[in-house]
Amino acid sequence: MAAESVRSGVSYGGATEPCAVILFGASGDLAKRKVIPAMYDLAVHNSLGERYAIIGFARTAMSDDSFRATVGEAAKGISEVGPIDPAKWDVFASKLHYNAGDYSDQQAYAALAKRLAELEAEKNLLRKFIQTSSSNLARPGFPGPRMKTPGCASSSKSHLAATLPPPKS
């Protein structure tokens, strides 16, 4: 059932299929000011469903808890649903995860793939990709993650498909 935002009057669709969202550039300003608050708003309106995980990936070294605290502080003043409800934030934040790594480091992608596979197995999730980092992060010969919503660059999609293990059926 669609719900309406308290402040914006926007109608949200129903819950989506269980998914793992990989958020590239997760420690950056765009992720903190726009993407995470938007994802929180979706979660508050049950548009993310019960089973989801958001996995941030960026160069900044931090733990899951540090990531949750950092994006939580930023989201408090921005959410479209008004003030952040601490109980609802806690539920949402428990589904936020973080992997640090350099965008040109194959080992960072291997660690991300391992974390993603663990979360997929634990929660039976499907993959979605969002990029909030600049496109100049790729090095020559390595297209890097250039996923954007709603579409994908085909060369980047094929690279990630080769880098990350296939989702389980």
Q: pLDDT tens digits, residue range 76-95?
A: 777 666 778 889 999 999 99
| Token reading at 91 | 């539920």
Q: Could you tell me the residue ranges of all domains in the chain?
A: 19-163
Q: pLDDT tens digits, residue range 2-20?
A: 344 443 444 455 556 788 8
pLDDT of residue 52 exceeding 80, the answer is yes
Q: Counting every residue, how long is the chain?
A: 169
Q: pLDDT tens digits, residue range 34-46?
A: 889 888 888 888 8
Residue 60 pLDDT: 95
Higher model confidence: residue 77 or residue 135? 77
Q: Which of 76, 69, 17, 70 is nearest to 41 (CA)?
A: 76
19-163 carries CATH number 3.40.50.720: yes
Residue 151 pLDDT: 34
* CA–CA separation, 18 and 157 (whole Å): 20
Residue 87 pLDDT: 92
Rounded to the nearest integer, the mean pLDDT of the chain is 74
